[in-house]
Amino acid sequence: MRSSRCNPLVLVVALAAVSSPRPLAGQGQTQATVTLSADRTEVSVGDTLRVTARADVTGAEVQHFDEPDLAGFDVISRQISRPLQFRFGFGNQQQLVQSTTIHTWVLRARAPGRHALGPLEVRAGGRSFRSNPVEVIVLGRGGASDPTPAEPAPTPQGPEVDGYQPDPQAFIRATANIAEPYVGQQVTISVYLYSRSPLRSYQVPRSPTTDGLWTVDLIEQRHLEPETQYIDGSLFRVYRIFHLAGFPLREGEITIGAPEVSFQAGSGFDLFQAPQEVRRAGVPIRIRAKPVPPHGAVTPTVGSYTLETALDRPSVRTGDAVTLTATVRGTGNVRDVRLTAPTLPGLEILQPRVEDEIVHPADRVGGTRRFEWLVVPQTPGTHTIPPFELHLFDPETAEVTTVRSDALTLSAVGAAVATATPDATAPTTPTERDPVTAVEPPAELGPLRTEATLRRGHRRVSDEGWYLAAFAAIPLFGLALLIGRWLRRRTPNPDKEARRASHRRLADAERLSTDGDGRAFYAAIAVALKAAVEARLGEPIGGLTQDDLRRTLERRRLSDDATRRLLDELDNCDFARFSSAGADPSEMRECLARTRALLAELDAFKPSEADS
């Protein structure tokens, strides 16, 4: 066994290394490199270009950053990005600062001519630094004095939102790759834990809040395998603890709440300190969602998809049903895709069944949404189902494209489906309608007897001795039943009370659906379902994630189909609360029908523990 005593010579050297001052690059040696660039230096009136100014500063913070002279250009968007920057102190020494600041402008050329952008001036640490100049040549467009405005410029990609509070021991950093996404566009959100010491384990007392976003977890399996990064000459271990794809459900500012992490760290923060419990909180970051530009009278769906339709049979007898399937595949939030079947004469098309499959290869969320309609031909002949259309918005090019499926043909044979209206000219008597099956007149009856020929040879029941006692016991038994029912009503039953509460919530949701209040309606639906589940399980589920809830329901032996439909409905409620499509009356009626079915199934469900 090794001795725990410290070598005195090693101790002296270590103390000298910690306490002795060392020169810092920030002490009177502020250095900066400022560059100005444009993705194009020759454009036409109405064209767009991107101008980027970058300042890399060592030894101080940026105090002032000039803007270029943008006369002759319309500013479409302006972005500021600040990747990692740190200020660490060592004893009484001056702190060292290393930072990068990037300003990006997306411009639309308005006036022809030569336009000088820069040089820009940046002040840091009491010194001024200047960038290189950039000249942009703007050509006229056919002599037109009022050029046609171009489409909006693409949304800049790359780390646009970066939030953290630096700490020389450990800190949390949250990033979002797009600062101003469109509603329905994917934003990749990552949360990192930076630690000087290796982690033994960690817990997340508070996850980042994502209200206003539909999120997909991009981490398949969490583990404690870090990357390493040098910051100010110190080695940090970087653990990615959250990695999400978020889709804004509404326009405006959306806050991603600050997470909190507690972890067991090794003895890396202090030479003589034992492993300790460390707790760090992050800082909230914000994005601003922009509305999707309308395309005529419709709002396009954000994403890139293909659209296919098919019939399970090309021909059918009149009155029989065929299945019409529309399949949408691609990248984006497939839950945003809406398809409406046309109204066609001679065809009855029922409400669709919708199935979603979400995948995220290479951190790009996409998948498949499948619509299935039952189509019943009412009249014989050839029926044409026109193509379905889907208008798509590409946030990278700000362009709208339309995808269409193929037209389908359905042949129906046989007589037309009869209506339920009675025919006034049809015969009414059985003989006139069907003389073969006419009713024969009844045979003539003989004389009626007033007395029975046979006589009973035993006593009547009322003559028995026990009859009066049994007759008197009947009201006493009824009175006992009433008293028992009254006592049961007086005794509270938590399970029944919870079920009644869930059904009252469902009644409230039905009332809210008639008022058109989508947000309150879906909130009431979610509360009703959760109350029903808690009533059957006998345990709260408010703090469970979807994965935890799925495992709990599987353990208590709820059927796989009911579990899937319950989780889908709760997910739909969370999504529809912020979606403009959630206030659609038909969507709310369908949601009520699905919820009633789920509540009936939950009322009949008898939970049990799965075999270990």
Query: What's the fold here for domain 301-413?
Result: Immunoglobulin-like (2.60.40)
* % of the chain beyond a pLDDT of 90: 27
Least confident of 83-97, 114-128, 365-379: 83-97
Q: What is the DSSP letter of 609?
A: P
- What is the band of 178 on the pLDDT scale with cuts at 50, 70, 90? very high
Query: What's the fold here for domain 494-604?
Result: Four Helix Bundle (Hemerythrin (Met), subunit A) (1.20.120)
Cβ atoms of 104 and 54 closer than 8 Å: no
The pLDDT of residue 266 = 61
CATH class of 154-291: mainly beta
The 3-state DSSP class for residue 536 equals helix
pLDDT, the chain, mean: 78
**Region 270-299 average pLDDT:** 82
For 26-142, CATH gives 2.60.40.740
**Region 99-122 average pLDDT:** 86
pLDDT in tens, 503-540: 788 888 888 878 777 778 888 888 888 888 888 887 88
Cα separations (Å) of 163 from 202, 259, 288? 21, 11, 15
So where are the chain's domains?
Answer: 26-142, 154-291, 301-413, 494-604
Q: Do domains 154-291 and 301-413 have the same CATH topology?
A: yes
pLDDT in tens, 191-250: 999 988 888 778 888 888 999 999 999 987 767 778 888 877 788 889 888 999 999 999
pLDDT in tens, 401-435: 999 999 999 999 988 876 555 554 545 444 444 44
The CA distance from 32 to 131, in Å, is 10
pLDDT in tens, 320-348: 999 999 999 999 999 999 999 999 999 99
H/E stretch holding 464 reads: none
pLDDT in tens, 65-91: 888 888 888 887 777 776 655 555 544
**Region 359-381 average pLDDT:** 93
Helix (H), strand (E), coil (C) string for 1-70: CCCCCCCHHHHHHHHHHHHCCCCCCCCCCCEEEEEEEECCCEEECCCEEEEEEEEEEECCCEEEECCCCC
The CA distance from 440 to 455, in Å, is 36
For 503-517, b where at least 16 C-beta lie within 10 A, e where not — what string?
Answer: bebbebbbebbeeeb
